Structure 1
Amino acid sequence: MPRYSLQKRSLVTGGAGFLGSHLCERLLAMGNEVICVDNFFTGTRRNIEHLIGHQRFEILRHDVTFPLYVEVDEIYNLACPASPIHYQFDPVQTTKTSVSGAINMLGLAKRLRIPILQASTSEVYGNPTVHPQTEDYWGNVNPIGPRSCYDEGKRCAETLFFDYHRQHQIRIKVARIFNTYGPRMHPRDGRVVSNFIMQALAGEDITLYGDGRQTRSFCFVDDLIDGLIKLMNSADEVTGPVNLGNPEEFSIAELADLVLQATGSKSRIVFAPSPVDDPRQRRPDVTLARTLLGWEPVVPLAIGLPRTIADFRSRFFA
């Protein structure tokens, strides 16, 4: 059963990661107690060091592929490496984190009869044949490629969430997260925003994979956290999946130009072969989030990108 307390107690798996640390911070600001769970494979203590010592904040070093027994009022399941470099390092463990991790967290939610939110991904759409992507699109995913450990792991996790909902009446929330950026991004995670910023600030060549015409949509982290919390606190019948991302679309070449302008870098742009199964287009349709949650992103790339660059300067080029 849920705990009976004036303060809501939130469990955040992957809480020391980029998104998780921002979510922990926001939940504390809302007055919640927060248990941050992380095995520190990609998350770092530096992301949460400013929260250590807070009277409502706890850290548990734990791998979600093993069961966890705690008493909480809600679960945000963010645990999983989310960049190609990290999730392809140990693809079997990546799949286990998505699938076994979901089973363990859903089991905890079932025991406690509490709501649980799954941080799913736009990667469930694969290389989409529908543009922009709506939640009723089933996707175009390669099940045996080098990205499949993440793509199919997240798809299976969604299946588990909805099966637990139908079979055990678990209150579920599924968010499909599109490209998110902001302070505390990992500097070497292989994502395009962090790659370009690090290369530009270091004066290195900026590497564009493919022809640079492939598109992405970039959501600032503050907007994304707003969406996750609104989804968690929505009516029980709002299960998702719900797209959370910024529908403004940019080509990768346009992003490179924006980074060069914002950093004042003299780096050259060079081209390299496109990775296997790299999507050509990625842009969310956020109509459902607007309708069900009253949510839409408010921070444009022109504002969020300089804030992100300033964070990278202070951490790595001070």
Structure 2
Amino acid sequence: MRKVGILTSGGDAPGMNAAIRAVVRKAIYHGIDVYGVKNGFQGLIDGYIEKMDIGSVGDIIQRGGTILHSARSEDFKHDEGQQKGMEQMEKYGLEGLIIIGGDGSFRGAEKLTKKGYPCIGIPGTIDNDIAGTDFTIGFDTALNTVIDAIDKIRDTASSHERSFIIEVMGRNAGDLALWAGLADGAESILIPEKQDELQEIVDRLNRGQNRGKKHSIIILAEGVGSAFGYADKIKEQADLETRVTVLGHIQRGGSPTASDRVLASRLGAQSIELLLNGEAGKMAGIQNNRLVAHTFADVLAQKHTIDFSMYQLSKELSI
């Protein structure tokens, strides 16, 4: 293994730069040249490829986003686009490719591996929705961003004696909402994996009001539905005015936490080790604080699941 490429794909996540840094420096340590591919798989097709050195990744471990930039590529979903990408890899002499991203990115990586170009995946997404790893790069930072926002909103909720619905990211995964809700003592948590009946939420709000509670926090994962829609329903059923805050893309930005920097560094270094050991077509992950590797086929065939004991605990503590 003399030359490898690296790209980031899909949504950005804090800690991606730390992973890029680890890949580049671990590779150089082993005498391997690294080429950065800009703009994800589309950049691979278009040949936006540059050689990287130690200085290329200096002072980036603390930066959010990705210095390689990221984009989604419809072209790469088709054989013609994949062929163009492989031609670029051949042109630059790349013998392997490391992809930082989510499940969509890993599908592209799996296709390249099957066509003879070894790929390794690093899970980078704030949603924490990838099977085969306890945590993904960016989740912890996004979680802390959400918690900070909820803390501030709670101050206003308490001052004005109002209830707030806070919509967080997560697509079809509820980890961000669940962890944030438990950490911030939310009265209700709405996640795709375990949706409460609206009447249960209303009953909980009414119980709080009956014992003198003047404000409430409801956390809603975007995959459940619109926070504004739920606010209207609560108004109809409980005659309770509810304010809505949609946190949006603020959750993706910011300097990565220590946890995300360490995780990214470990997974980035592991990806080079996997390539050196000839273990192509795998995702680097972490389970029970131990580095693991699973085939793309296994990762994509499974569905990430939340810890339902945490969900139950949140309900017990919000009585």
TM over 0.5: no
The answer to which structure, 1 or 2, has the higher relative contact order (CA under 8 A, 6+ apart) is 2
State the TM-score, normalized to the length of structure 1: 0.40
Of the two, which has the highest radius of gyration?
2
